[in-house]
Amino acid sequence: MERENIVWHLHKVSKADRSQQKKQRSAILWFTGLSASGKSTIAGAVEQALFELGHHTYLLDGDNVRHGLNKDLGFSDEDRVENIRRIGEMAKLFADAGLIVLTAFISPFRSDRRLVRDLVEADEFVEVYMDTPLSVCEQRDPKGLYQKARRGEIKNFTGIDSEYEAPEAAEVTLNTAECDVSECVAQVIEYLRTHNIIHT
């Protein structure tokens, strides 16, 4: 079918209707940071806190997506860009469903994060920067990936031989070397409350 014959359908139940029913504003909490900076840990803990408050959420996590939807993609620059683009489109669909979406991907390039930000409504994208120093991440090294990267067994590893471009104006910045899990979670929840994403 020709591309111009594909049209976006407007359904009877809108995003606004779904958000109202769920008593929350849809949002994408985009966690970005080095490997072992705490993205999965904090995103998981924030999701649990939101769930306990009665909110509707969905967490998209790095490795899980690469097992399925993006299993055809590798770690070249081109594939990393496509990986984030697809995740962004998927997050947008979940947000359209009225959910608070949490994503935990290194997403090292500013232009990719900008691309996702531009896909959704202006106040829907909440960039959560895990500002944990590389030295701390490397010391944690829960999966031994930094060790492998240092030995040259993994190429293009972010922070070692591939760049991480830190956000310039993230909505929330967390340094897990300085605050524990519950403090980081509280900081994210506070942002959601003050920006009227949740009212609980």
Does position 39 interact with ligand ADP (CB under 6 A)? The reply is yes
Residue whose entry in the numeric block shows the structure tokens 């010391």: 139
Q: How far is the C-alpha of 45 from the C-alpha of 164, rounded, in Å?
A: 24
Residues within window 92-111 making contact with ligand ADP, judged by CB under 6 A:
104
Beta-carbon count within 10 A of 44 CB:
16
User: Interface with ligand ADP by CB under 6 A: which range of 31-39, 70-78, 90-98, 147-155?
Assistant: 31-39
Does position 41 interact with ligand ADP (CB under 6 A)? The reply is yes
E strand or H helix at 185:
helix 181-194
**Which position among 29, 38, 98, 157 is part of the footprint of ligand ADP (CB under 6 A)?**
38
> Which residue among 107, 111, 135, 182 is the active-site one?
107
In three-state form (DSSP H/G/I as H, E/B as E, the rest C), the secondary structure along 65-119 is HHHCCCCCCCCCHHHHHHHHHHHHHHHHHHHHCCCEEEEECCCCCHHHHHHHHHH
Backbone torsions φ then ψ of 174, nearest 5 degrees: -125, 135
> Is 35 annotated as a binding-site member?
yes
Q: How far is CA 128 from CA 12, 19, 24, 115, 197, in A?
A: 33, 22, 19, 16, 15
**Which position among 112, 176, 185, 197 is part of the footprint of ligand ADP (CB under 6 A)?**
176
**Which position among 24, 32, 35, 83 is part of the footprint of ligand ADP (CB under 6 A)?**
35
Does position 52 interact with ligand ADP (CB under 6 A)? The reply is no
Give the residue at shortest CB distance from ligand ADP. Answer: 38
> Is 76 annotated as a binding-site member?
no
Residues within window 114-153 making contact with ligand ADP, judged by CB under 6 A:
140, 142
**Which position among 116, 184, 192, 197 is part of the footprint of ligand ADP (CB under 6 A)?**
184
Per the DSSP assignment, residues forming a β-bridge with 102 are 29, 59
Catalytic residue numbers?
107
Binding positions for ATP: 33-40
